[in-house]
Chains A and B, each alone.
Chain A
Amino acid sequence: GENVEQHPSTLSVQEGDSAVIKCTYSDSASNYFPWYKQELGKRPQLIIDIRSNVGEKKDQRIAVTLNKTAKHFSLHITETQPEDSAVYFCAAGGYGQNFVFGPGTRLSVLP
């Protein structure tokens, strides 16, 4: 089955700097890769996603890149702000497959 690894497990950045979180997956059949943000005590919320037929997707300060050959995808957050502090989860899956989540990255943005 699918296995998703995520690095780093914790990340601290200064406000205004960029943050990058990387995930790798094992099942080449996976074709959909969402990223979720979970604030303390809240539910995971979808922030961006990418399909396997796209190499990069951007939405304001966040972007996701996908390398199908290497089976890895990354979340990029630019101009980080204190409200970006949260736990971020990547996931891999696709039609007919359950999502498998990574273990999460705790991002702290220091003022």
Chain B
Amino acid sequence: NAGVTQTPKFRILKIGQSMTLQCAQDMNHNYMYWYRQDPGMGLKLIYYSVGAGITDKGEVPNGYNVSRSTTEDFPLRLELAAPSQTSVYFCASRVSSPTDTQYFGPGTRLTVL
């Protein structure tokens, strides 16, 4: 199993540009998450999904959108990028049985200039 994969690893955007961060998992987990981690800070939940076709906002959803058309994929869309969106973005998936374990992807480092 590849686990949770993310692409790209790095990206530089100009203000106002848009992009999609890709996330995929091959563990058949229903729960998937997007977090952002600003330098020296903790993890903030952007959006999450409890299954294909179901998404919901987390703590900091403004400026982002998600979709979940399949169990495997959970892309995060940034529209009209702003410098405040400069961060490292982590995707995660979660299995609730028998353990309640969350697995993180390697992250995408995004800089908006």
Residues of A within 8 A of B (CB): 32, 34, 42-46, 49, 51, 89, 93-95, 98-99, 101-104
- Specify which chain A residues have a CB less than 8 angstroms from the CB of B84 in the assembled complex: none
- The interface size of chain B toward A, counting residues with CB under 8 Å, comes to 18
* CA of A94 to CA of B100, assembled, Å: 7
* CA of A48 to CA of B20, assembled, Å: 33
Task: Flag B65-93 by CB within 8 Å of A: 1 or 0 each.
Answer: 00000000000000000000000001000
**Which of B11-19, B21-29, B104-112 is near enough to bind chain A?**
B104-112
Q: Is the CB of A99 within 8 A of B42?
A: no
- Specify which chain A residues have a CB less than 8 angstroms from the CB of B51 in the assembled complex: none
Q: Does B2 contact A (CB under 8 A)?
A: no
Which residues of chain B in 28-59 are interfacial with respect to chain A, using CB atoms and an 8 Å cutoff?
Answer: 33, 41-43, 45, 48, 58
Q: Is the CB of A99 within 8 A of B107?
A: no
Q: A89-B43, A95-B96 are in contact. List 7 more A-B contacts (CB 8 A).
A: A32-B100, A43-B106, A44-B104, A89-B42, A93-B100, A94-B100, A104-B41
Between-chain CB contacts (< 8 Å), 15 pairs: A32-B100, A34-B100, A42-B106, A43-B107, A46-B101, A46-B102, A49-B99, A49-B100, A51-B100, A93-B100, A98-B33, A98-B45, A98-B58, A101-B42, A102-B42
- Specify which chain A residues have a CB less than 8 angstroms from the CB of B102 in the assembled complex: 34, 46, 99
User: Which 5 pairs from chain A and chain B are nearest by CB?
Assistant: A43-B104, A103-B42, A32-B100, A101-B43, A104-B42
| Smallest Cβ-Cβ distance to B94: which chain A residue | A99
- Specify which chain B residues have a CB less than 8 angstroms from the CB of A93 in the assembled complex: 100
With contacts A95-B96, A98-B33, A98-B58 taken as known, whether A45 is within 8 angstroms of B104 at the C-beta atoms is yes
- Specify which chain B residues have a CB less than 8 angstroms from the CB of A42 in the assembled complex: 106
- Specify which chain A residues have a CB less than 8 angstroms from the CB of B100 in the assembled complex: 32, 34, 49, 51, 93-95
Q: Is the CB of B41 within 8 A of A103?
A: yes
Closest chain A CB from B68 CB (angstroms):
15
- Specify which chain A residues have a CB less than 8 angstroms from the CB of B45 in the assembled complex: 98
* CA of A93 to CA of B100, assembled, Å: 9
Which of B43, B58, B104, B107 has the most chain A CB atoms closer than 10 A to its own CB?
B43
